């Protein structure tokens, strides 16, 4: 028998028909829907007089546009265009009979937080969503990736996609992670090593003892940012943690089906001797807490570093990118990361808004106060259920006492489609995934960090090494 990678197995298990040109029709088990990338797809269905192929495969929720201050219904959303988009999803899900975790439902939240939490995605599945961070779900050993709106319509209408098999890349992180080094630091470090296009054309499998040592939440953080490494999909093989995580979730199987599922899921690992097209090996001990300094996630450094000198960069295209990043970020080469002051802090997003992330931030914030120079610290849980659990653990109180704002679930300042945003020129310590120009608000300057590092920056008013706290 040929040794196969996890990705090989997942892909092959979903081939409906193989075409001569190497592409295949692959079956999609789960389709997650949000309000931004779906309206045109539903419109397309209507225009063509088509119905969803399998209604039960779809799970919808609202996240990108929702305010994070309390509100009761879509009608309370002030911004006209946001309100219309939210209402359009509500109408579409109603019209087509699609399950939606809407406003006021405790299950509402960021698509990639809601789906695993509900057991809507399970090992061995193909999962798509009109959102690039769908890769998050790969932590459950499923093949999960983002799609555009035309493909949203295609999946709704046919439950399939036309796909070509990607190449296999294994990223092995072996050894023990040092104190204060989290899943976020692992993935930022990986992106720093392979670059934002390093994974283009590949399906990434994260492996090695350091990845195994991460919780499921941590693995989701790592897979979430596979897209920032250029790959549509990232994944982690099944182990006991995967199985434990799935047990008892609302849409997870029970009884005999559970036993059969577990038996199958256990096979979802790369076989001994499986061939990868590329292997990247990283020593966990080399990873320090990370802070991004520029306008691309690959412009990232350990917290104790100084900012790089573009004149030392031999690649002209890269050099030009660095120079533009310096101008945009208002920083100068040679500066210490710890000298960068922060104006706002954002703890949230599909990268870092799960319970473990909030616990890590709360641990740092406990008994401390946000620095007077920091204008705002937003803590935005990933879903209503995360929020509820955090409140049961008293984390909300810790945040409020530290002068942080405890908000309602949603995407919030990760992309600033709702009112949460940076003002031009402001520096933000953010636990999100993208530091592109204008991402968190026109002219805003994003620094990507872990939740603990974000909380520590909120308290100090500038970046600090969490290992010294």
Partner 1 sequence: MDKFITHTGLVAPLDRANVDTDQIIPKQFLKSIKRTGFGPNLFDEWRYLDEGQPGQDNSKRPLNKDFVLNQPRYLGASVLLARRNFGCGSSREHAPWALQDFGFRAVLAPSFADIFFNNCFKNGMLPIVLPEDDIETLFQQVFAQEGYQLTVDLAEQVVVRPDGVKIPFEVDAFRKHCLLNGLDDIGLTLQESDAIRAYEASRQQREPWVFVQ
**Residues at the site binding ligand SF4, with contacts judged by CB under 6 A:** 63-64, 110-112, 131, 133, 349-350, 411, 414-415, 432-433
3-class secondary-structure state, position 214: coil
- Per-residue binding letters, 81-120, with partner 1 (x by CB under 8 A): xx-xx--x--------------------------------
> Which part of the chain contacts partner 1 (CB under 8 A), choosing from 12-20, 209-217, 276-284, 356-364?
12-20
Binding partner of residue 54 among ligand SF4, partner 1, none, CB cut-off 5 to 8 Å per kind: partner 1
Separation CA 455–CA 47 (nearest Å): 49
* Site for partner 1 contains 275 (CB under 8 A): no
Q: Let me know: does 147 contact 161? Beta carbons within 8 Å.
A: yes
Select 144 or 177, whichever has its Cβ closest to ligand SF4.
144
Q: Let me know: does 223 contact 135? Beta carbons within 8 Å.
A: yes
Taking the complex as a whole, the smallest distance from the CB of residue 414 to ligand SF4 amounts, in Å, to: 3
Separation CA 7–CA 360 (nearest Å): 32
Q: Which of 354, 331, 348, 327 is nearest to 455 (CA)?
A: 348
Residue 463 φ then ψ, to 5°? -70, 140
Q: Which of 21, 240, 272, 392 binds partner 1 (CB under 8 A)?
A: 21
* Site for partner 1 contains 437 (CB under 8 A): yes
Binding partner of residue 261 among ligand SF4, partner 1, none, CB cut-off 5 to 8 Å per kind: partner 1
Q: Which of 177, 231, 329, 452 binds partner 1 (CB under 8 A)?
A: 231
Taking the complex as a whole, the smallest distance from the CB of residue 346 to partner 1 amounts, in Å, to: 15
Binding partner of residue 110 among partner 1, ligand SF4, none, CB cut-off 5 to 8 Å per kind: ligand SF4
The DSSP H or E segment spanning 417 is none
Q: Let me know: does 449 contact 323? Beta carbons within 8 Å.
A: no
**Subset of 234-253 contacting partner 1 (CB under 8 A):** 251-253
Select 281 or 327, whichever has its Cβ closest to partner 1.
327
Burial class (CB in 10 A: 0-12, 13-18, 19+), 95: exposed
Taking the complex as a whole, the smallest distance from the CB of residue 418 to ligand SF4 amounts, in Å, to: 10
Return the structure tokens found at 350.
């599909």
Binding partner of residue 347 among ligand SF4, partner 1, none, CB cut-off 5 to 8 Å per kind: none
- Per-residue binding letters, 38-77, with partner 1 (x by CB under 8 A): -xx--x----x-x--xxxx-------xx------------
Taking the complex as a whole, the smallest distance from the CB of residue 130 to partner 1 amounts, in Å, to: 6
Separation CA 416–CA 428 (nearest Å): 13
Separation CA 10–CA 257 (nearest Å): 20
For 314, which DSSP code?
A: -
DSSP 224-246: HTTGGGT-SEEE----HHHHHHH
């Amino acid at each position: 028998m040929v040794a196969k990678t996890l990705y090989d197995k997942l892909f092959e298990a979903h081939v409906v028909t193989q075409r001569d040109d190497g592409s295949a029709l692959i079956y999609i088990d789960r389709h997650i829907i949000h309000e931004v990338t779906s309206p045109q797809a539903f419109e397309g269905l209507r225009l063509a007089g088509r119905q969803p192929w399998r209604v039960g495969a779809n799970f919808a929720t609202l996240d990108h546009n929702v305010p994070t201050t309390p509100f009761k219904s879509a009608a309370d959303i002030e911004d006209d265009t946001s309100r219309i988009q939210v209402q359009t999803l509500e109408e579409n899900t109603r019209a087509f009979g699609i399950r939606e975790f809407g406003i006021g439902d405790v299950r509402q939240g960021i698509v990639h937080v809601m789906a695993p939490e509900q057991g809507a995605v399970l090992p061995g599945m193909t999962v798509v969503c009109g959102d690039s961070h769908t890769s998050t779900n790969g932590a459950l050993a499923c093949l999960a990736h983002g799609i555009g709106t035309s493909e949203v319509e295609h999946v709704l209408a046919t439950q399939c996609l036309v796909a070509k098999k990607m190449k296999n890349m294994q990223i092995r992180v072996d050894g023990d992670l040092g104190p204060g080094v989290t899943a976020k630091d692992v993935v930022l470090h990986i992106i720093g090593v392979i670059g934002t296009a390093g994974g283009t054309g590949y399906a990434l499998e994260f492996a090695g003892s350091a990845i195994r040592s991460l919780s499921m939440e941590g693995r989701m953080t790592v897979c979430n940012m596979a897209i920032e490494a250029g790959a549509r999909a990232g994944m982690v093989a099944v182990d006991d943690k995967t199985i434990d995580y799935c047990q008892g979730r609302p849409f997870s199987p029970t009884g005999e089906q559970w036993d059969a599922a577990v038996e199958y899921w256990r096979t979802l690992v790369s076989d001994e001797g499986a061939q990868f097209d590329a292997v990247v090996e990283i020593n966990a001990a080399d990873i320090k807490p990370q802070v991004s300094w520029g306008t691309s996630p690959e412009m990232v450094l350990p917290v104790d570093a100084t900012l790089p000198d573009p004149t030392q960069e031999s690649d002209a295209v890269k050099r030009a990118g660095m120079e533009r990043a310096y101008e945009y970020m208002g920083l100068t080469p040679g500066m210490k990361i710890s000298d960068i002051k922060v104006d706002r802090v954002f703890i949230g997003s599909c990268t870092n808004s799960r319970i473990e992330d909030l616990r890590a931030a709360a641990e740092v914030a406990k008994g401390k106060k946000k620095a007077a120079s920091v204008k705002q610290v937003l803590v935005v849980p990933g879903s209503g259920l995360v929020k509820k659990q955090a409140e049961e653990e008293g984390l909300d109180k810790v945040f409020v006492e530290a002068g942080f704002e405890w908000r309602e679930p949603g995407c919030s300042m990760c992309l600033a489609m709702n009112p949460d945003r940076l003002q031009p020129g402001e520096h933000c310590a953010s636990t999100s995934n993208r530091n592109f120009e204008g991402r968190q608000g026109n002219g805003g300057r994003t620094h990507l960090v872990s939740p603990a590092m974000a909380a520590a920056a909120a308290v100090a008013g500038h970046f600090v090494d969490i290992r010294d706290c």
